[in-house]
Amino acid sequence: MVVIFFNLGLVLAFILLVSIVFINASTKFVLAILGVICILFLIKDIIQDLYFALYKYKNNALIVIISFALDIARIAFFYKLIHHFAAGTARATGLSTFGWMLGYVISILVGGVLFFAGEANGLLFGMGQKNESSILMNVFMTGCLVAFCHFII
């Protein structure tokens, strides 16, 4: 009986060690490419909003400017959130590693859902949804991401 629990404990310790190594390796990878990803999203938003301004919403430049400002804010706060937890997880030692890993995973899941929901709303805005409801939803998604960022950091 003791041997079974000892072996089970070793297996769980090995799984925990492997997950810590993978999460720490992923944080270093995320830190290395996070700036590039943010720049790519920024370029995508510039191209997307220029297209909307020139072809779809010629008479409503204010809506395009507001949408672009919300996109920039969403990118900045998502970058801040992920960078905070990735850097914290990378420098954590001992038992604090588990807290940073949990925060890292939660920030990726919740922050990522809010970020991509805002991006999807921006695409729907470009496909011709009502301007006012799309802008309000964009403000709501960006506000939720900002609130989550300030709450969790």
pLDDT band (50, 70, 90) for residue 128: low
Q: Quote the crossing angle between the two packed helices 131-152 and 112-126, to the nearest 10°.
A: 170
Structure tokens at 41: 């999203």
Distance, in Å, from the CA atom of 106 to the CA atom of 117, rounded to the nearest integer, reads 16
Domain assignments of the chain as residue spans, ordered by start: 2-152
Q: What is the residue type of 21?
A: V
Q: What is the pLDDT of residues 46-63, one digit of tens each?
A: 888 777 777 777 777 787
Output the pTM of the full model: 0.78
* pLDDT value of position 143: 92
* Whether pLDDT at 129 is above 80: no
Q: What is the pLDDT of residues 58-89, one digit of tens each?
A: 777 787 788 889 889 999 999 999 889 888 88
Distance, in Å, from the CA atom of 8 to the CA atom of 91, rounded to the nearest integer, reads 30
Beta-carbon contacts of 9 under 8 Å, excluding residues fewer than 6 positions away, are none
Distance, in Å, from the CA atom of 135 to the CA atom of 143, rounded to the nearest integer, reads 12
